[in-house]
Every structure is written in C-alpha cells, then in structure tokens.
A = this chain, B = another copy of it.
Amino acid sequence: MTDSLTLREISNHLDGEILSGDPDSIITGVSAIQDAGPTDICYYGSAKYACYLGSTKAMAVIVSEPVETAAECVLLVHSAYDGFRKVLHLFKPDRTSGFVNSHSSAVIHPGVEMGENTRIGPSVVIDRGCIVGDNCCIGAGVVMGPGVILGNDCHIHPNVTLLAETVVGNNVIIHSGTVIGSDGFGFVPHSRGEHMKIPQNGNVVIGDHVEIGSNCSIDRAVTGSTKIGAHTKLDNLIQVAHNVCIGRGCFIAAQTGIAGSTSVGNGVVFGGQVGVGGHIVINEGAIIAAKSGVTKDVDSGVTVSGNPARPHMETLRLGAAVSRLPKIIELVRELNTGKIGETGD
C-alpha cells in the first residue's frame, strides 16, 4: 500500500540484484510488460512475451536471467513471477472499508463469541452460537447462520452466505456471492413425482489458507462433512456437492462441478467447466483438463481429458484419428469400389 518506491527499495525487498539502471529511480506502479507506463515496473517470465522486451515503456523489468530490453532498469531475482507477486503486494491499493468496526447496522446475536480486531461491515448478520476469530474482515451483507465457526485472519467478502454449522479455518478468503452450507441435492424419488427430501444433517468444513471465488455453491453433507482441504483454491461459479472431500493444495478452475461423495486427493488440478460424477475417487496429483467429464476413478498423477474423460494422450490420439476420418472414409470407399470392381466385373 504505497505510492512510490525506489528501485533500490524494491530490489532489497525482493532480495534482487540491479543489473542496470539507477537505484534511485522512482517506481510508481506495477503493470504488464505490454501495458507499462514510464514509471512502472513489470516482469518478464515467459518467452511468449519476448516480443515486448524491446518496445516496453516500463522503467524497470524484473527478470530471472539477464535480458536485452528497452527498459532502463533490469532487476534480477530468483523467480521473476514471484518477484512480480511481491511488488504487487508492495503496491496493493488500499481497499479497506470506510466503515468502522462492527457497524451499527450489523445484526450480531448476543451469544456470538467475537474475536479481537475483527471488522464487521454494514448489514452483516451473525446468528446465534457463532464463533468468529481474530483479525477477520467480514464484508457488508454477509450472513452467517447459527453455529458458524470462523477462524482467524479470514476475509469474507460482501454478500457471502455461510449457513448453519459451517466451519472455516484460518487465513481463508471467500469471495462475494458464494454460498457455503446450502442443502445437498438428495431425495427419495417417488413414482408419482412427489419426491421426498433427504434431510441434510451434516455441514461444510473448510481448511486453512483456502480461497474460494465468487458465486460458488458448496453444499453441506447428508451426515458428516463436505470438506475442502488446506491451501486448496477454488475459482468462481464452482459446484461442490454434498459429502465431497477435496484434499490439500488443489486448484479448481471456474464453473467446474463435483457431484456427491466424490473424493479428490491432494494437489489435484482441475481446468474450467469440468464435471465429475458422484462417488468417484480422483487420486493425488491428477490433472483434469478443462471441460472433461469424469465418469470413473482417476489414478494418481494422471492427466485426463475429454468426455468421457480418458488419459490425455489417448484423447489426443482419438481426436487426431477423428480428424483424419473423412479421408479414411474416402479411402475405404475407394478400396470398396475397387473390390466391388474386382468382384463385380
């Protein structure tokens, strides 16, 4: 949260080495290499962007190896991308709410245990029996149902809904519009269509350092808990059904849906718009390509793609085969005509 820093200050913060440029150069912002202005710092992390090195208007470029560039200053660090992350932190805009702690319009049940230094926005509702940790920031319009437990250092953005008995760990970020603890989709089907609801008696438990994007839906368990492991990151508009168990350190891209009782190991990566069926096991370190439809268990470390999802190399092989299919059909016809020619003449 700063307006300007010298190149030297940035270099010190990043434990870097100034390869060129005046250490007293004043940097006022962070930008992408192609968009940077004359007092910005940017980073160069992929050969894909080499074309901008010569034309960038940036004052400084963060690199992990020496480069030729139009920028006056070059700052060498161990990882350019992580250096970029660190300068973004230095220049992070101040987005703190202008409303002071526990705004008078917030409605907090008398029995709530409230941590220290936790900021409650306007129109927040915290129901009976909730326990809220220290140093949290709870945005305007957030609703916490009865018995929700929220750890320390959490940021719950505006208009999030945490329903009854949801348990959230420490250092968790939840973005706006997300609903945690809605009822799972469970019914006893009925022949005349008068399906009967299965009560969803369980809850949702979210580990430490989890981040959940906006407008996600994470359903409570029938019994026990729907679980999201520590350090797992969810993008936006994701569906997590009842009794799903997601491991530690997973990445799940936007609009993916995971059906009931499916188990996801540690470090699994999902592309966007993936669908996973119910009662499936996706093992540690698997990668699920975007738009895959996973209909059976996935082995550890395997990359799958397609619908139904197959090992990615197989999907590629079948895709390539299909691409050649019209020519193959032509060839088969010629062969067949030849044969007919042979046999018919």
Contact = CB atoms under 8 A, between A and B. Distances in A.
Residue among A84, A272, A335 with the most chain B CB within 10 A? A272
Contacts of A61: none
B85 A199 contact: yes
A302 to B, nearest CB: 18
A152 interface: no
Given A31-B224, A95-B145, A273 B290 contact: no
Contacts of A197: 85, 173, 211
Query: How many monomers of this chain does the complex have?
Result: 3
A143 B127 contact: no
9 contacts: A105-B105, A125-B141, A177-B215, A182-B213, A217-B236, A273-B275, A318-B326, A331-B336, A335-B339
A29 B223 CA distance: 9
A114 interface: no
Given A95-B165, A239-B255, A324-B329, 9 more contacts: A95-B146, A99-B127, A107-B122, A195-B231, A195-B233, A195-B249, A237-B257, A254-B259, A307-B307
> On chain A, which size bracket covers the interface?
35 or more
Contact of A157 (B91, B163, B308): B163
A95 B182 CA distance: 12
Interface stretch (A3-11, A19-27, A183-191): A183-191
A335 to B, nearest CB: 6
Interface string A113-131: 0000000011101011100
